[in-house]
Copies of this chain bind each other. A is one copy, B any other.
């Protein structure tokens, strides 16, 4: 269980440690003869460089840290894909860590990530207080995804929830709907912009907004529908705050003997894999998740290379994905 060091490789190849170092870093100023001798020795010994010692000595790092607030959410997996893609392209490795949606755990995750002295950090929808982020940002470049910030030291990448909500409303209106309710996400992140976008779009069409308080879960969506039914205030179309909420809403509608989209059209938000299931086939708003990741990694690397010190605020455009839960009022069952 003891790994060979550069010294061992040097000894075996009959060269100096410094030369092995040059070979390992792919320096051009090494003769072909020595290079192959060194590589051969390394191969035979099963040597691979010690990233920490390297980073310690060079005072640089080729590692990007990624803090994922919730590993259970596939949304983040796709963002990580984007980060990973760009990072690998530029010769950086990523290490991931999770905060489990708890500020305390997240704090520890952050601390742990920091202790590796990565070149920079991407925080995916962090729940720690802004001050903690600001403090970390004094030590290394930080990019926030799916969370906004006024800190001038951090970059942010977000989707434009107002636009997304507007797209959904426009779609429903173009199908002929006039009574469109929004089941909102309460305090949930991004719930604000979505609600504002919905209200603005409704007003732009000369329609009356109807915001129903709800949450980002399927049970909350079902509950909201039941309350609408009880109040006899059911609209012809529903814009849910996210896909889970929408699925819950659909289920409550069907329980009540109503048909989607014949009686009520439903639009989700996020385009999760759930929405794509043929059993669900939900019309929804898609966010360019991998693009989030790519932009985040890109912004981070710009800071790492000190190519930029001004903060960047990316606001990406969501898009509408039409499936089978929307139709003109009275349309197909």
A→B interface (CB under 8 Å): 1, 3, 46, 48-53, 55-56, 71-72, 74, 76-78, 80-81, 84, 88, 93-98, 100, 108, 111-112, 114-117, 135, 138-140, 218-219, 222, 244, 247-248, 250-251, 273-274, 277-280
Contacts and interface: CB of A to CB of B under 8 A. Distances in A.
B218 A279 contact: yes
7 contacts: A46-B135, A48-B111, A71-B77, A71-B81, A84-B98, A116-B116, A247-B279
B50 A117 contact: yes
B48 A56 contact: no
A77 B100 CA distance: 10
Nearest to A274: B274
Given A95-B97, A98-B80, A277 B218 contact: yes
A291 to B, nearest CB: 17
Given A72-B77, A117-B52, A46 B250 contact: no
Given A96-B96, A96-B98, A278 B222 contact: yes
A77 B69 CA distance: 12
Contacts of A111: 48
Nearest to A54: B115
Contacts of A135: 46
A42 B243 CA distance: 47
Contact of A251 (B78, B117, B222, B279): B279
Contacts of A98: 80, 84, 96
Residue among A50, A81, A279 with the highest chain B CB neighbour number at 10 A: A279
A74 B93 CA distance: 23
Contact of A139 (B3, B49, B74): B3
Contacts of A95: 95-97, 112, 116
A115 B277 contact: no
A28 to B, nearest CB: 23
A273 B72 contact: yes
A49 B116 CA distance: 9
A278 B248 contact: yes
A72 B88 CA distance: 19
A71 B290 CA distance: 13
A80 B77 CA distance: 14
B117 A100 contact: no
Nearest to A59: B2
